[in-house]
Amino acid sequence: MPTNLFLIRHGETLSNIELIYQGQTGDSDLSELGVKEGQELARGLKNQKFDAIYSSTLKRSIRTAGFIADGHGLQVAQVPELKERYYGVFEGLRFEVIKQKYPELYETWLTHPDKAIIPKAETLEQLQKRGVAAVEKLLAEHTGGNICVVGHGAINRTILFHYMNLTLDNFWRIKQDNCCVNLIEIDKHPIVILLNSTWFLGEKRISRLSVY
């Protein structure tokens, strides 16, 4: 039997609204909308059997996972390796400030993300390595089962690229909206069944923020 990985992004945060790079140090709480998204997500997944529910150690991920866990009688297990990318000098800054302070670097980040060397930050390769290693460990513990992992925009992308056999220069080629669901079936060959799906919100909402 295949193993199913439900890879989810956290709900909207206060920093998302303010267009701030949260990374690891800006551990913003969910916004009012983010709470509603998490509740709708939980309702959308209420009939889906899960063997375990995991989150990163950042509160936006923990709280989102908690909505799902409450409906399944499960506890959220926190995995430090599922944390968002550490963005170095970008952390805690608004998009516009980064654009003004690091114009060339920011342009490279938007056009050639795999070549953008952000001072003091993890590289995308490092992020993908730890994210995939964490997920592979969880999959091995639940062979043939269904697991839910609530992560973050950047780390989710790199995990998806691994299973889709895409290079990291494709970073901006897919979206990860708040509370989106990705479903990957792991068997002889991984198959991405759902990508950035928010069916539980009804008519798709165009988020104020398509990244972070």
pLDDT digits (tens, 9 = 90+) for 106-119: 999 999 999 999 99
Q: What residue ranges of the chain have pLDDT lower than 70?
A: 203-212
Q: How many CB atoms lie within 10 A of CB 19?
A: 16
Q: Domains of the chain by range and CATH?
A: 3-201 (3.40.50.1240)
pLDDT in tens, 15-35: 999 999 989 987 899 999 999
Q: Locate tokens 């439900």: which residue?
A: 6
pLDDT recorded at residue 27 = 84
**12-20: long-range contacts, CB 8 A cutoff, minimum separation 24:** 12/37, 12/178, 12/179, 12/207, 12/208, 12/209, 13/60, 16/178, 16/208, 16/209, 16/212, 17/208, 17/209, 18/94, 19/94, 19/95, 19/96, 19/209, 20/92, 20/93, 20/94, 20/95
Model pLDDT, residue 203: 55
Q: What is the pLDDT of residue 90?
A: 96
Q: Half-sphere exposure of 205 toward its Cβ, with a 13 Å CA cutoff?
A: 16
- Residue 10 catalytic? yes
Considering 12, 40, 84, 122, which one is annotated as catalytic?
84
Residue 200's pLDDT is what?
87
Backbone angles phi, psi at 162, to 5 degrees: -60, -50
Answer yes or no: are the C-beta atoms of 130 and 57 closer than 8 Å: no
pTM over 0.85: yes
pLDDT of res. 7: 98
Among the listed residues 10, 37, 91, 152, the single catalytic one is: 10
Output the pLDDT for position 205: 54
